Chains A and B, each alone.
Chain A
């Protein structure tokens, strides 16, 4: 099967700055894929190369098997990007903006789908409103709608929920999930890691232009076999033997980082031996955010 996205040894330099360094990546059709990384990690550069907005210094990128440079027409027809910045054309209404965007991709009569997209994104009432008159959240909805009007097989969402209200976020994810179920490949960059954890089947983490982790979300979550224990104690102190395990000291008590679950028993035994009563205890698995932080602080 032809990969939805295939990136081979892609590097990108802006003068002396290396934005991407020999990145290789393959995303299968129908995947919900997360691209995570701190600011300046190279996520937007990689997306821009896929969309033809930037040209790779070295390496090659393909969308649905089409080279983004040599077969740019087919590649661009196969992919769309919802940009991070809140951009709009102030001359036109919502419906005009969507109709133009659809026409750019050669679709003749797309009114039914445009109406459906507007309905799903709660834009129907604003269809004849000029873009300038919309609130920030509404403009964001139009931006998403513009990307979806030609129903490309690959949809790239670059921080689509940055600064939007909960209602839109939920409506958006319902719609994107539906598109994913219908077979569209979704590539998502987001700063809300809980979103990536909930939505993405696979995740790549970028740091300083390199991929530092690439695995299924499940494997990434289990990558670190350790766990955390939240403790509220009486008296509020720890025996010296447990001090090296302290990950965080807070008002309510302690957070201990354990190598694995078997260590829980030792913690309890040592507390009992020190005559310290456990008033509250919660054992937690690290979430994607903690794993992300762990990976980001590691040396490349």
Chain B
């Protein structure tokens, strides 16, 4: 009965890979909406902000405002798209009922989480690379510390992928997820130093900005390009890494207890 899998381990790897592949294929099927559109949005931000603010905003010494903007916009796109992928996929599956297709198979909570997380990170990184490639014509970008770029891209997309899973589990309707996106994700990413260095802010706003966890993702990522940042990259990495582990444990626990999945 049934083509017996070679081993349980191989069967589990195949199952996990298939779920990841399905999530990966899902966003590529609508790549105009999920990849091309956010790249175009970032490009528009770059054009509008660089032309209107390049003579007014002081950033790092020796770094033009246009060049300063590019890594920030790339990271903002990584974060927003990683979140959008896992959150919308889960919420839509719950709403349409096709979540049953991934609840019936024998996935552990680790496999379930990892498949959604990696696909979310994948989309975030694809869009981030897309933004960098699209903006290469407008800014002469340096890569002072490429490993920091990679580390923050992975950690940031991981945080947002995990947060997206939580939002997707929590949301039963489009407006619940939209509220999450519009009142939490969007303001925090916009106010994370994408468009400015926090040193250009008055002291009160500087301190307040430090309470925004997204700041450390953007600032650390930018350090990889310029070798300069508002906060120490080590501190940023510690905060982003700790956020990632905390959110991952919370997400794993929610999936294990079947929060809004199994009744």
**Residue positions of A touching B, CB distance < 8 A:** 14, 48, 51-55, 72-77, 80-81, 83, 85, 87-92, 96, 100-101, 103-108, 110, 113, 146, 150-153, 182-184
Contact = CB atoms under 8 A, between A and B. Distances in A.
Contacts of B108: 73
Interface in B70-103: 93, 96-98, 100-103
A266 B14 CA distance: 71
Interface of B: 1-3, 5-6, 8, 10-15, 17-19, 21-22, 25-26, 29-30, 93, 96-98, 100-108, 258, 262-263
B4 to A, nearest CB: 9
A48 B2 contact: no
Contact of A151 (B1, B19, B25): B1
23 contacts: A52-B104, A52-B262, A53-B104, A54-B262, A76-B105, A77-B106, A87-B97, A90-B96, A91-B25, A91-B30, A92-B22, A92-B25, A100-B21, A104-B18, A104-B105, A105-B5, A105-B11, A105-B106, A106-B13, A106-B15, A113-B3, A151-B2, A153-B1
B3 A151 contact: yes
Contacts of B96: 87-90
A87 B100 contact: yes
A150 B106 CA distance: 12
Task: Give the interface SS of chain B, mostly helix, strand, loop or mixed.
Answer: helix
A76 B262 CA distance: 14
B103 A104 contact: no
Nearest to A130: B29
A153 B93 CA distance: 27
The residue in B29, B93, B263 that gathers the most chain A C-beta atoms within 10 A of its C-beta is: B263
Contacts of B2: 107, 150-153
The residue in B6, B93, B106, B263 that gathers the most chain A C-beta atoms within 10 A of its C-beta is: B106
A52 B14 CA distance: 21
Nearest to B10: A106
B98 A88 contact: yes
Nearest to A80: B104
Given A52-B104, A91-B25, A151-B3, A108 B262 contact: no
B263 A183 contact: no
A89 B3 contact: no
The residue in B10, B19, B21, B98 that gathers the most chain A C-beta atoms within 10 A of its C-beta is: B98
Given A51-B104, A104-B18, A107-B3, A87 B12 contact: no
A18 to B, nearest CB: 14
